[in-house]
A and B are shown apart, each in its own frame.
Chain A
Amino acid sequence: MNPAPSIVFFTTASGAGYGLLFWLGLLRPVGLLPQAPEFALACLALALVLVTAGLASSLLHLGNPQRAWRALTQWRSSWLSREGVAAVATYIPAGLFGLALLADQPGLATLAGLLAAVGAAATVWCTGMIYASLRPIPQWHHPLVAPGYLLLSAYTGMALLAAVSALGGVVGGLAGLIVMLGIAGVVLKLAYWNRIDGMRPAATAESATSLGFIGKVRTLDPPHTETNYLLREMGFRVARKHAARLRRIALVAGFGLPVLLALLASLSGGVAPLALMLAALLALAGMLVERWLMFAEATHTVALYYRGS
């Protein structure tokens, strides 16, 4: 699948933003975060900027962005529509959360924050399910995909939260959470890559053409000698060596280094702000690579028609 930059950026940025919103709404009431409204407002602003930038980027992917509102209508069947509904809906508690903070209404802030956390989680889940529901793409149509989106969103959100928190002078247990989430992320990605590496395709050239009863099916002539939309969009291929290198980069930059930096931050308070800032940036950069791979390594059955099994 074609790793369109707008989509790669969207899921990375929005994922981190929703993760941040999620943790903010969830952890603030339990007292794990600085209670100053300024802190929460800063986190909320960052979360909404990321979410909104991501959503805006995803609109760039549309052929007719001015009609995007229509995407809110088909929530009964479409995960993309549900994602849209959830994303829009989440703005409401998130907005209330902000207003409550400004108006110094802690009760409402807690409630709205929790609701925003639920909305954030729901939105990311929908995002994951958009991919996980696509049967022609076996690398996406996989039980680890939607949980993966949630987990990585939580991880990058936590990295951001910890960084902002450290800037506010509080490190607390957040670094530890980064370590835990990071390790969980590594475990999940390794398990996922392990699964997709040995994965059987969703179909075969033989079943795609119904000619398997004759024997092995090979392509002879394509229907067109240059490329087309299908090949550009769904025929994208990444070299195995290149993918392996990118996986290592994603693991080291996106998980390994942030976890180490988080450990460093929790050991030595002085460097914490810098270490956690760096950890968050690395985690986000790593996520861009991970998300690019998510597309690049995904294969669509339409390629069977062009390249055979």
Chain B
Amino acid sequence: MPEAPTPTRLQPPPDPRVDYSVPVGDTVKTTTCYMCACRCGIRVHLKDGRIRYIEGNPDHPVNRGVICGKGSAGIMTQYAPARLSSPLLRVGERGSGEFREISWAEAMDIATGWLKAVRETAPERLAFFTGRDQSQSLTGFWAAQFGTPNFAAHGGFCSVNMAAGGLYSIGGSFWEFGEPDWDKCKYVLMFGVAEDHDSNPIKLGLSRVKARGAKFVSVNPVRTGYSAVADEWVGIRPGTDGLFVLALVHELLRNDKVDLDFLARYTNAAWLVVRNPGGADDGLFARDGNGAPLAWDRTRGAMDAKAADLSPVMVGDYTLPDGRKAQPVFHLLAERYLSPEYAPEAVAERCGIEAARIRRIAAEIAQVAFEQPLVLDQPWTDVWGRRHEQTIGRPVAFHAMRGISAHSNGFHSCRALHLLQMLLGAVDTPGSWRYKSPFPRPIPPGPPPAGKGAKPNTPLTGNILSFPQGPDDLLVDDAGSPLRIDKAFSWEAPLALHGMMHTVIGNAGAGDPYPIDTLFMFMANMAWNSAMNPGEVIRILTEKRPDGEYVIPHVIYSDAYFSETVPYADLILPDTTYLERWDCISVLDRPIGGAHGAGDAIRQPVIQPDRDVRPFQEVLIELGARLGLPAFVKEDGSPRFKDYPDYIVNHQRAPGVGPLAGFRGTDGSKKGVGEPNPDQLQRYIDNGCFWRDHLPPEQHWYKHANQAYLDGAKAMGFIPKPEQVVLQLWSEPLQKFRLAAEGHGERQPPDHLRERVRTYCDPLPIWYPPLEQQGADLGRFDLSAVTQRPMAMYHSWGSMNAWLRQIHGSNKLYMARSRAEAMGLAQDDWVWVESRNGRLKCQVSLMEGVNPDTVWTWNAIGKRAGAWGLTEDSPEAVRGFLLNHVISEWLPAQEGFRAANADPVTGQAAWYDLRVRVTKADGPGVTEPHFSTLKDRPGAPPRPEVLAYNAKSPA
């Protein structure tokens, strides 16, 4: 149902036993939730300074008043005994847990000393990596100011395939980049979405979809959560989504169910591709003297592909004026995907989906897109200046997330999905997937990544995480070796837009490409669930050189809680909880914009810390000033920013452009671009801690070619020029990497990577078996193994929460009942799960709704004994387990070259490529591997035997 029916005003019956109208609290403050990355607006009710109640903010555009299981339990995250309470300095060996509580003054002196030495000699020897924080515009800027290219957040092991696949295809993607038109779609297909991004908007959207009777199809090996409420569940084999999508493409092409008009107008389908096998220009777009791409006009021949009066041909062989041969992009893609290898019959077995079912789904999609178009009486004007009286929609919407992203073929699977959207004409139309502000952006957007020529005491210019256009933009030296410690933007992962956090510690341990001095991490549990192989990370963090020094000499870690990583750091900078700090959900990073306009948000402290802790961002800004980073000091060397709020308000990345887009200008009347407003934060607070812009209706659709929208986006500073964003079926940047691999150009991959780059940098989407599985003994490891995030837990952040850990205190390995029973396994039996990388011991749980060749478990429930403020006998440590223990961060060695277990284009960690076998285990019912119990830190508070939290009565 769309909205809960509001009851008529109720008169309370007389009942002296009930106090009907107790005020909820004495104060209520709005802020932004951080129990996951969804960024919902919340209202926090306080009573005598303690939290009484956290509810969804009904005015907030993200969650519209609803709140999930995690958000409602935030109160227990706030008061968890696992909270760190003061800075800590390691005094014993790493991992021993021997710490000394120190003052912030001492902590800052130590950190400054270590960092200064690095910056003065070789700034790249600082590796600064953050986890799921929401302040990457600050942390990335800080890293560039420091002068190290070695910065990234967790995107490399989360969903960079999704981001890169989308940004290089349609100038947007899923989650923060775009969303299904929940209110108008008639058919929605969701791929590989468990709880992942974004939590409450998906739930709100699905309820609307179901209330309208639209069809919801979920493609996922596991039938839980969203898949449980789907009208059709497609229990696909992990890693084959791209193949399934390309079979749908095959069917649409075979039945001529593609939107040629849309393709001709809004994509590069008509652009001519030079056909010159072996030549340096093969596969590049034919361009005119000004560099403008060419298409073949039916009457006038080769001409500017962007011309308003173009009447293009979509297939055929043509000869350019200079004599070269060329074919339209559509011709090339039609030829490829009409090939029998993509026919439903050819892929059915591999995907685990019957051919007839693939054909039916393709027919249903085509039927909705072309027989049931949405026609809105909404005029709009395109980039050619033509006014359309109506807005035509193809009401088939898509959403996808980690289930296809976390594979080594995920980039191309995501591209395939966008190809499907483009063929249907279902990009930013009524009822289809839609861009969320500030997208669309040019394809690819922005300048190339910064990071070349790191020099002592010198900032890097530009963004460290940005968008290569071709080989010249890679961060490699003249020999082709990576410049970054994680090897992002190298030939091993040319489009590693979010870095490759999962390789940092491994590479640093091996000194490959060079050793580092200081590892500085924030909110990244790398010694446990954030690592693909925690045991190996622990080994490297405790490894020493012959001279007795640690291989990674300094580890600085900031976290709010006693996570498994804390004992492996030398200096702990305790962070606040999310309710004790300022933050900005910035337009420079990942704002909360929607299809109807830009938006961003803040966090404000709703309660004061009762511990000696400081918000990490504030610490970072002070460190920047202490180190004399130019943007963080005034001309006289004094700190430029008093604190983080001062930075949020007054920092300008470009003139008039700051972290927050709303209430700019001295009187708060400007949006997007405007002078800093000293009252900006108060204006946000007055508005419920968010700001939302509202596009006029004529700008709601076809934003990639909607002139009024593009003009507005330019004015807001979102795009450099108000030009059409032509959707890219054929990706020229990828072809440039391929040409380099084929021996063209000055920058070419080293020989051992040539074939890899040539194969995987295909300008059209391809499908290949996940890298780990290529040449592997799939008979021996006969099951795919994946994880899902439970809805009531956000990665590791939950086990310290007294309420959430009752819901998920331990996890089991779910297995198809038929498969398990054939193996003689019963519910709750203990089993060994063995992969090429090792084995673990856990309990099985039998179920019906899972692909029979797949096993799975909930993510990050298993905890190391002693961590997170829990006793060592806690179920998280005794029966909970991490699948990570049998994953490897490396692929099986191929001719001496150690490749990351990652997508070869983007470097995305391939968590879900794992193959295992399961056998019955004997022995005691305790999970293995079972690491030694972590020693608790000094100053840890006692754990109560009974927790009777009640904000009504004084503590």
Question: Chain B, interface size: which category?
Answer: 10 to 19
Provide the residues of chain A in CB contact with B847, threshold 8 Å.
220
Question: Shortest CB–CB separation between residue A237 and chain B, in angstroms?
Answer: 14
- Interface: A198 (CB within 8 A): no
Provide the bound-state CA to CA distance between A218 and B810, in Å. Answer: 20
Provide the bound-state CA to CA distance between A220 and B806, in Å. Answer: 17
Contact B848 A218 (CB under 8 A): yes
Provide the residues of chain B in CB contact with A220, threshold 8 Å.
224, 845, 847
Number of A-B residue pairs at CB separation under 8 A: 18
- Interface: B875 (CB within 8 A): yes
Provide the residues of chain A in CB contact with B845, threshold 8 Å.
220
Provide the residues of chain A in CB contact with B808, threshold 8 Å.
225
Provide the residues of chain B in CB contact with A225, threshold 8 Å.
806-810, 875
Contact A224 B806 (CB under 8 A): yes
Provide the residues of chain B in CB contact with A31, threshold 8 Å.
none
Provide the bound-state CA to CA distance between A223 and B806, in Å. Answer: 8
- Interface: A226 (CB within 8 A): yes
Question: Shortest CB–CB separation between residue A199 and chain B, in angstroms?
Answer: 24
Provide the bound-state CA to CA distance between A224 and B805, in Å. Answer: 8
From B224, B809, B848, contact of A224 by CB (8 A): B809
Question: Shortest CB–CB separation between residue B382 and chain A, in angstroms?
Answer: 49
B228 to A, closest residue via Cβ? A220
Contact A226 B848 (CB under 8 A): no
Can you list, as one digit per residue, whether each of A216-229 has a CB less than 8 Å from chain B (1) or not (0)? 00101101111000
Provide the bound-state CA to CA distance between A86 and B170, in Å. Answer: 81
Provide the residues of chain B in CB contact with A223, threshold 8 Å.
807
Provide the residues of chain A in CB contact with B875, threshold 8 Å.
225-226
Question: Shortest CB–CB separation between residue A281 and chain B, in angstroms?
Answer: 40
Provide the bound-state CA to CA distance between A224 and B806, in Å. Answer: 5
Can you list, as one digit per residue, whether each of B768-811 has a CB less than 8 Å from chain A (1) or not (0)? 00000000000000000000000000000000000000111110
Provide the bound-state CA to CA distance between A221 and B810, in Å. Answer: 11
User: Which of A221, A223, A224, A226 neighbours the largest number of chain B CB atoms within 10 Å of its CB?
Assistant: A221
Chain B 860-909 interface residues, beta-carbon cutoff 8 Å to A:
875
B223 to A, closest residue via Cβ? A220
Provide the bound-state CA to CA distance between A223 and B790, in Å. Answer: 12
Can you list, as one digit per residue, whether each of B70-100 has a CB less than 8 Å from chain A (1) or not (0)? 0000000000000000000000000000000
Question: Shortest CB–CB separation between residue A117 and chain B, in angstroms?
Answer: 41
Provide the residues of chain A in CB contact with B848, threshold 8 Å.
218
Chain B 210-228 interface residues, beta-carbon cutoff 8 Å to A:
224
B861 to A, closest residue via Cβ? A225
Chain A 186-227 interface residues, beta-carbon cutoff 8 Å to B:
218, 220-221, 223-226
Question: Shortest CB–CB separation between residue B802 and chain A, in angstroms?
Answer: 12
Chain B 273-302 interface residues, beta-carbon cutoff 8 Å to A:
none
Provide the residues of chain A in CB contact with B807, threshold 8 Å.
223-225
Provide the residues of chain A in CB contact with B806, threshold 8 Å.
224-226
Provide the bound-state CA to CA distance between A14 and B215, in Å. Answer: 64
Provide the bound-state CA to CA distance between A70 and B807, in Å. Answer: 36
Provide the bound-state CA to CA distance between A174 and B531, in Å. Answer: 79
Question: Shortest CB–CB separation between residue B532 and chain A, in angstroms?
Answer: 26
A215 to B, closest residue via Cβ? B848
Chain B 836-854 interface residues, beta-carbon cutoff 8 Å to A:
845, 847-848
Question: Shortest CB–CB separation between residue B177 and chain A, in angstroms?
Answer: 32
Question: Shortest CB–CB separation between residue B859 and chain A, in angstroms?
Answer: 14
Provide the bound-state CA to CA distance between A225 and B848, in Å. Answer: 20
Question: Shortest CB–CB separation between residue B134 and chain A, in angstroms?
Answer: 30
Question: Shortest CB–CB separation between residue B147 and chain A, in angstroms?
Answer: 48
Provide the bound-state CA to CA distance between A221 and B875, in Å. Answer: 16
A224 to B, closest residue via Cβ? B806
Provide the residues of chain B in CB contact with A221, threshold 8 Å.
224
B807 to A, closest residue via Cβ? A224
User: Which of A218, A220, A223 neighbours the largest number of chain B CB atoms within 10 Å of its CB?
Assistant: A220
Question: Shortest CB–CB separation between residue B948 and chain A, in angstroms?
Answer: 14
Provide the bound-state CA to CA distance between A218 and B223, in Å. Answer: 14
Question: Shortest CB–CB separation between residue B222 and chain A, in angstroms?
Answer: 11
Provide the bound-state CA to CA distance between A171 and B594, in Å. Answer: 93
Question: Shortest CB–CB separation between residue B223 and chain A, in angstroms?
Answer: 9
Provide the residues of chain A in CB contact with B809, threshold 8 Å.
224-226
Provide the residues of chain B in CB contact with A218, threshold 8 Å.
848
Question: Shortest CB–CB separation between residue A215 and chain B, in angstroms?
Answer: 10
- In the complex, 18 of the A-B residue pairs with CB atoms within 8 angstroms, ordered by the A residue number, are A218-B848, A220-B224, A220-B845, A220-B847, A221-B224, A223-B807, A224-B806, A224-B807, A224-B809, A225-B806, A225-B807, A225-B808, A225-B809, A225-B810, A225-B875, A226-B806, A226-B809, A226-B875
In the A-B complex, the 10 residue pairs with the smallest Cβ-Cβ separation, listed nearest first, are: A225-B809, A224-B806, A225-B810, A226-B809, A224-B807, A220-B847, A225-B808, A225-B875, A226-B875, A226-B806
Instruction: Other than A220-B224, A225-B875, A226-B875, give 15 A-B pairs with Cβ distance below 8 A.
Output: A218-B848, A220-B845, A220-B847, A221-B224, A223-B807, A224-B806, A224-B807, A224-B809, A225-B806, A225-B807, A225-B808, A225-B809, A225-B810, A226-B806, A226-B809
Taking Cβ atoms with an 8 Å cutoff, the residues of B that contact A are: 224, 806-810, 845, 847-848, 875
Taking Cβ atoms with an 8 Å cutoff, the residues of A that contact B are: 218, 220-221, 223-226
